[in-house]
């Protein structure tokens, strides 16, 4: 298979199931909302060491917050429900609760309930109150600048993490330019996040490594600065000087596949791409296989 003369490797991306939650964060104005959203989703690029993967979800045109104030939708993905619960408590409790004017609401219509607000309420030291806000069951936590309001329970769903593809480029410059185009093509799609900075990964990883204490290490077989003389397993194709990865976390497989197809096609519209591939680990990372050829055929 080729798109605009760019070969698409007959391979699959190895993704994995990730429980997720969508929170709606609102504030007095856009400044407070966006500052809190940025911090609450900070250091959340990879579950290798971040605890969760998180980001600001694109808004749909009809998006309205429960309280009518400026707001963001935040998506949080984790390996297990327990990990997700811990991260939600930590990030909402440490970032949203102490921020002026911020309120937090559930953003997922269905799923397994988690008593986020109820658990955060203990910060109120016995003075927390159960109240109705905008038709929702909430917890009001007394703070020194008023009440912090958070919905009593939020829902968690079953998402897909680690959907990906690789851009094999003739140069670092051309590869990054193409990767940016690939990100732009899906940045406004709802139902997904691109957890890495700018949506682009310049350091694809493998499971384990030379040092036993590492859970992941660099993909040395594809590193252009490691010569073949030092790495007999080098797999970098000729004329390739850089490999960039696009990683997508989505609320469903359907969303992940649609985004992968659109992003790959955008990448193939730029120059300097030798081929498109994907990362897979022989089933050691996840059980969700996303075959590139099938996805591109389903989403022309």
What is the per-residue pLDDT across 287-298, written as a single tens digit (0 to 9) for each? 999 999 999 999
Q: What average pLDDT score do residues 107-116 get?
A: 97
Q: Decide: pTM greater than 0.75.
A: yes
Q: Say if residues 104 and 96 touch (Cβ distance below 8 Å).
A: yes
- 17, 288 contact by CB (below 8 A): yes
Question: Residue 231's domain spans which residues?
Answer: 2-14+158-298
Same domain, 221 and 278: yes
pLDDT band at 286 (very low <50, low <70, confident <90, very high): confident
Provide the terminal-to-terminal Cα distance of the chain, rounded to the nearest Å.
13
Beta bridge partners of 112: 156
Handedness of CA 194, 188, 110, 253 (dihedral sign): negative
Mean pLDDT of the region 79-92: 98
pLDDT higher than threshold 90 for residue 3 = yes
Does residue 283 have a pLDDT over 90? no
Residue where one domain finishes, among candidates 157, 192, 214: 157
Report whether pLDDT(136) > 90. Answer: yes
pLDDT score of 117: 98
The answer on 54 and 167 residing in a single domain is no
Residue 270's pLDDT is 85
The answer to whether residues 261 and 148 belong to one domain is: no
Residue in the structure block whose two tokens are 């990100």: 183
Handedness of CA 36, 76, 259, 285 (dihedral sign): positive
pLDDT at 184 over 90: yes
- Segment 245-252 shows an average pLDDT of 98
One DSSP character per residue, 50-90 reads SSSEEEEEPPPTT---TTSS-EEEEEEE-SSHHHHHHHHHH
pLDDT band per the 50, 70, 90 thresholds, residue 206: confident
Q: Is the pLDDT of residue 285 over 90?
A: no
Please check whether residues 55 and 151 belong to one and the same domain: yes
C-alpha to C-alpha distance for 41 and 44, rounded to whole angstroms: 6
Q: Going along the chain, which residue ranges are E strands?
A: 2-3, 6-7, 12-26, 53-57, 71-77, 103-106, 112-114, 129-133, 136-143, 146-151, 154-169, 192-193, 205-207, 216-218, 242-250, 273-277, 288-291
Token code pair at residue 283:
């089933």
pLDDT digits 0-9 by tens, 142-179: 999 999 999 999 999 999 999 999 999 999 999 999 99
Residues 140 and 166 in one domain: no
Is the pLDDT confidence value at 99 over 90?
yes
- Res. 253: pLDDT tops 90: yes
| CATH classification of the domain holding 130 | 3.30.70.520
Q: Is 161 left (phi over 0), alpha (psi -120 to 50) or beta?
A: beta
Q: Strand pairing partners for 18? A: 159
Q: How confident is the model at residue 21 (pLDDT cuts 50, 70, 90)?
A: very high
For range 210-228, the mean pLDDT:
92
CA distance 21 to 10: 33
Residue 190 and residue 104 in one domain: no
Q: Evaluate whether 287 touches 17 at the Cβ level (below 8 Å).
A: yes
Query: Could you give phi then psi for residue 133, rounded to 5 degrees?
Result: -130, 120
pLDDT attached to residue 23 = 98
Residue 282: the pLDDT is 83
Tell me: do 258 and 182 sit in the same domain: yes
Query: 166 and 43, same structural domain?
Result: no
pLDDT level of residue 12 (50, 70, 90 thresholds): very high
* Number of domains present in the structure of the chain: 2
Instruction: Based on the fold, state whether residues 286 and 171 are members of the same structural domain.
Output: yes
Give the per-residue pLDDT at 254: 98
Q: What is the mean pLDDT of the chain?
A: 96
Whether residues 138 and 90 fall in one domain: yes
Using the 3D structure, point to which of 99, 124, 157 is the last residue of a domain.
Answer: 157
Q: What is the pLDDT of residue 13?
A: 97
The last residue of a domain, from among 157, 175, 198: 157
């Amino acid at each position: 298979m080729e798109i605009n003369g760019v070969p698409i490797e007959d391979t699959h991306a190895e993704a994995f199931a990730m429980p997720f939650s969508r929170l709606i964060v609102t504030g007095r104005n856009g400044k407070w909302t966006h500052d809190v959203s940025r911090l609450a989703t900070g250091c959340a690029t990879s579950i290798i060491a971040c605890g969760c993967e998180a980001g600001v979800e694109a808004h749909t045109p009809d998006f309205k917050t429960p309280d009518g104030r400026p707001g963001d939708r935040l998506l949080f993905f984790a390996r297990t429900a327990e990990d997700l619960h811990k991260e939600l408590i930590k990030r909402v409790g440490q970032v949203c609760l102490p921020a002026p004017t911020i309120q937090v609401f559930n953003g997922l219509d269905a799923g397994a309930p988690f008593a986020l607000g109820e658990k955060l309420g203990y910060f109120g030291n016995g003075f927390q109150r159960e109240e109705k806000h905008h038709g929702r069951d909430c917890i009001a936590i007394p703070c020194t600048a008023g009440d912090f309001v958070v919905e009593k329970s939020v829902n968690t769903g079953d998402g897909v993490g680690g959907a990906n593809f690789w851009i094999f480029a003739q140069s670092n410059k051309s590869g990054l330019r193409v990767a940016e185009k690939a990100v732009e093509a899906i940045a406004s799609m709802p139902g997904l996040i691109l957890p890495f900075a700018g949506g682009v990964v310049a350091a694809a990883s493998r499971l384990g490594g030379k040092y036993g204490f590492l859970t992941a290490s660099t993909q040395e077989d594809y590193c252009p600065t490691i010569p073949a003389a030092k790495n007999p397993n080098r797999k970098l194709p000729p004329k390739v000087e850089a490999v960039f990865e696009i990683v997508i976390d989505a609320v469903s497989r359907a969303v992940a596949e649609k985004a992968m197809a659109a992003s790959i096609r955008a990448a193939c519209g730029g120059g300097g791409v030798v081929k498109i591939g994907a990362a897979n680990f022989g089933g050691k990372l996840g059980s969700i296989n996303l075959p590139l050829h099938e996805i591109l055929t389903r989403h022309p």
